[in-house]
Copies of this chain bind each other. A is one copy, B any other.
Amino acid sequence: MRAPVPGLVCKESAVDVKDLCLGALTFGEASGYDLKKFFEETFSHFCGAGYGSIYPALAELTDAKLVTCHEIPQQGKPDRKVYRLTAVGRETFLARLEKTSPQHKVKSDFLLVLYFAHLLPPARLETLLDERVAELDHHLGLIRQCQQNPGSDEAVGAKFVHEFGKTVMAAARDYLLNHRQALVAAVAAAVDQDPESNRRDGHLRRGTHNS
């Protein structure tokens, strides 16, 4: 086991909510509330953050002088706090963009459950697929809204990411719709033939790992 080389520790840490906020603020000032809405509308298909992480993140960024905070008094509501990126904040973000080795992680309970389709009632399967298609439609709708936004001259990156999202999610949607019937039929048939199909013993087999 190698001791961590002092100069090369190189965290390579993943992007966190602070980075998300910094990034959004490169487009202009905003409150925590605004940021959450922005994430939902614009980043919904690949990122997200709740108030429980946004507000603490903004507080930390303020302490670190990466953003400044203007308080705007309001009645009935808590003061609106508008955050703006500082020069240091902008550079910190730029540095993060260049150093991070960006990961793409999918955590899909949906696919996991589908993997065990043979253990599910066909009706449940149909619900699952329909709900997922609806979610995809929802995300697709959000992206279209972003793009149709009045005064939306999206940056090249935004365009690319949005088109990418549309392409990939449309592919997912089409696959689900085109194969829905076959899957449900196959499972229904299996249940008919062999209702007690869920007891099979043996060893978890794995492919020969000649990576």
Residue positions of A touching B, CB distance < 8 A: 14-15, 19-20, 23-30, 34-35, 37-38, 41, 43, 45-48, 84, 90, 94, 97-98, 100-121, 124, 128, 131-132, 135, 145-146, 148-152, 155-158, 160-161, 163-165, 167-168, 171-172, 175-176, 179, 183, 186-187, 190, 198-209
Residues of chain B within 8 A (CB-CB) of A24 are 204
Pull 5 A–B residue pairs with CB atoms less than 8 Å apart, ordered by A.
Answer: A15-B109, A26-B119, A38-B206, A97-B116, A160-B179
User: Are A34 and B206 within 8 A (Cβ)?
Assistant: yes
State the copy count for this chain.
2
Given A46-B112, A207-B41, A209-B41, answer yes or no on A117-B172 (Cβ-Cβ < 8 Å). no
Given A98-B120, A157-B115, A205-B28, answer yes or no on A108-B109 (Cβ-Cβ < 8 Å). no
Residues of chain B within 8 A (CB-CB) of A163 are 175, 179
Residue A171 contacts which of B151, B168, B209 (CB distance < 8 angstroms)?
A: B168
User: Are B114 and A204 within 8 A (Cβ)?
Assistant: no
Residues of chain B within 8 A (CB-CB) of A26 are 116, 119, 198, 200
User: Are A104 and B113 within 8 A (Cβ)?
Assistant: no
User: Are A156 and B118 within 8 A (Cβ)?
Assistant: yes
Closest-by-CB residue of B relative to A91 is B198
Report the 8 A-B pairs with minimum CB-CB distance, sorted nearest first.
Answer: A117-B157, A102-B109, A171-B171, A30-B204, A46-B108, A28-B202, A15-B109, A102-B110
